[in-house]
Amino acid sequence: MYTKSAPFYDVIYSSKNYEREAHIVHRIIWEHRRSTGKVLLDVGCGTGGHLIFLREHYTVKGLDINPDLLKIALQRCPEGEFFEADMVDFTLGYRVDAIICLFSAIGYVKTVPRLRQAIQTMRRHLKPGGVMIVEPWLTPDTWRPGLPHARFVDEPELKIARLTVSEQEGRISRNDFHYLIATPQGVSHFVERHELGLFTHDEYMTALQDAGLEIIYDPDGLIGRGLYIGLLPL
């Protein structure tokens, strides 16, 4: 994912309020954590949009499967430590006090078995008394195939139109994003496919509970998609 669009990721999502979301995440962690450290791991960190604000409170780590996004994250947050790995199966060799997986990155695991494995993998990296926060992707009931979507960037020397029509195959949501990009060097076009699993609320809850976490569910979350807050008992 984002294999072609990585250089444009931040400008495409420039309207996303990372600072506000990071403030909410920090408040949740501070309210519920019982471990004594301040090490935070962002799983599916992308370009580090949340970490540049969370670094004020934590020693930050980031993990993502896309090396191009990680390069940008390291430039933006040079004091952080970043790892190229799949969230389903990674080993860092230590535990942290807080793990976040935001902006629906968890959907990229695609299947329920991989969802369960990803939650188990993250839980193994969480200290007793630590907090895990997972922001889900859309559910089977809220995904609407057949809808056109558009996002635009209009800057003096950069114009971007990203267009797609939502699709669905079984429990997989699919967007073939068509990018039309204009710069002083000319106009280019490419297509990038994104597939995310459509998991139910019960499937998220079961995956977290089976990992030994106590769950608090916020139905609104950061952007209206909900938020799962998992607490690992001392």
Listed by start position, the domains of the chain span 6-139+198-231, 148-197
d(CA 93, CA 68): 24
Q: pLDDT value at position 93?
A: 96
75 by DSSP, 3-state: which?
helix
Q: pLDDT value at position 1?
A: 78
Residue type at position 20: R
Asked if 33 and 98 count as a contact pair (C-beta separation under 8 A), the reply is yes
Q: pLDDT value at position 161?
A: 98
CATH of domain 6-139+198-231: 3.40.50.150
User: Per the structure block, which two tokens stand in for 78?
Assistant: 């040079």
Asked if 135 and 225 count as a contact pair (C-beta separation under 8 A), the reply is yes
**10-residue averages of pLDDT along the chain (234 residues):** 93 97 98 96 98 98 98 97 98 98 98 98 98 98 98 98 98 98 98 98 98 98 98 96
Asked if 71 and 103 count as a contact pair (C-beta separation under 8 A), the reply is no
Fold that domain 148-197 belongs to in CATH: S-adenosyl-L-methionine-dependent methyltransferases (2.20.130)
User: Per the structure block, which two tokens stand in for 11?
Assistant: 């400008």
Residue type at position 54: L
Q: pLDDT value at position 129?
A: 98
Q: pLDDT value at position 75?
A: 97
Please give the DSSP secondary-structure letter assigned to residue 117: H
Q: pLDDT value at position 37?
A: 96
- Report the Cα 224 to chain-centroid distance in Å: 15
Phi/psi of residue 174, nearest 5 degrees: -135, 135
Same CATH topology for 6-139+198-231 and 148-197: the answer is no
